[in-house]
Each structure stands twice: as structure tokens, then as C-alpha cells.
Amino acid sequence: MLTKKQWEYCLEQFGEMFPDAHCELVHENAFELLVATLLSAQCTDVLVNRVTANLFQKYKTPEDYLEVDIEELQNDIRSIGLYRNKAKNIQALCALLIENFDGEVPADRDLLTTLPGVGRKTANVVVSNAFGIPALAVDTHVERVAKRLGMNRWKDSPLMVEEKIMRWTPREKWTDTHHQIIFFGRYHCKAQNPACGECPLLPLCREGKKRMKGIA
């Protein structure tokens, strides 16, 4: 397993490789980010951005989403996976935003997770990117990188990954670290064909060393 000292080295390398890592979901406010993040489950940010380019022109407020039939909203997001369920959740969360929060997105992770379709990961993305509150969302990229490096065990849950990374990472760096690990996983340590041979973390990466041994 990775030591804390080795993790600190990983953080330095993530920062050097991807100093400009950021949220790639295009949005102009917390409400748009909430909708975009909900849509991004099991879907690429590229596809979500393609869909929201038109969606966010048509719908500006929670009220706007509730003024159309569910079938129309489904049609607007049809190219996204699980679009029927996501359309239902968007309308349900819009109704709750109006009912419980005066139509405003709450800047609180626990309150956000009371909304339909909003899990811990989505809530962390929203509070960190829309409100500047340090948080660390664990998506498939973050989980994969942490487990390949040996930061976490293969059987650990996303929550266990989140808690370990937060414990070993300075709080003020949580949000940047989240983005940098995502970029590292998305563009370097890919699910298929990770770039182990040119990775600065290879000497301490259990998965990388195993893969390179298989190539040798």
C-alpha cells in the first residue's frame, strides 16, 4: 500500500502534469452545474456539454423545467444514457428546490443529497465548484487511480476512497486535487491502455509495475 509520503509525491506530480485541471462541465451558475452533473452519471462530459448547450438556452430556472411535459424534457436529453430516469429526477428536484429552498441551490452537501438523483459525488462537485467549499468527489477516474496506485484496496467503497484521500490531502487542496486526479485518470491513467511506460508515478504504482512486468 502507498505511504502518506508517497501520496504527497503523487499530489506534486498531479499538480505538475495538470496545473490547469478544472471542471469540464460547461455551466454559468450552481443550478446549471447541478443539472449537468446529474446528467453526467455514466456519461461523458463531452456528450453532456453537447446536450446542455441547447438545454440551458431553453431552461433557465427550476420553474422552466416544470412547465413542460416529462416527454418533452426526455426528448431534449434523449441522447444521454438513462435519459428517462434523469428527466424524472430533474423535474422532481426542481419541484423540491422551489418548495424547500426558494428555487435556489443550497450550498450544503447534506441538503443537496436530499434532492432526487443527487448523491454524494454530485453534491461534492456542486459545493466545490459552484460555492468554493473544499470537497473531494470520487468518480470512476478518482477511484481507479487511487486503487491502481495502492492508495486504497480494490474492495474499498467510493466513500472509503474519498475519506482516505481527504485525510492525506490538505483541506485547501481537496478541490484542485479532485480535478487533477480526474485529468490524470481521463488523459493519462486511462481505463484502457494507461500510459504506464511514461508515468512519473510508475516506481511507486503497484498496478503499473505489474503491467510493465507483463510487457517485458
Catalytic residues: 121, 139
Distance CA 89, CA 94 (A): 8
- The letter for the amino acid at 86 is K
Asked if residue 37 lies in contact with residue 46, where contact means CB atoms within 8 angstroms, the answer is no
Instruction: Compute the radius of gyration of the chain from its Cα atoms.
Output: 19
Asked if residue 114 lies in contact with residue 96, where contact means CB atoms within 8 angstroms, the answer is yes
Q: What are 13's three cell numbers?
A: 506530480
Asked if residue 135 lies in contact with residue 162, where contact means CB atoms within 8 angstroms, the answer is no
Q: How far apart are the first and last CA of the chain?
A: 23
Helix ranges (DSSP H) in 59-157: 62-66, 70-76, 83-101, 109-112, 120-131, 140-149
Distance CA 122, CA 194 (A): 26
Q: What are 195's three cell numbers?
A: 500510459
Give the CA distances from residue 138 to residues 120, 165, 181, in Å, rounded to whole numbers and listed in that order: 9, 10, 10
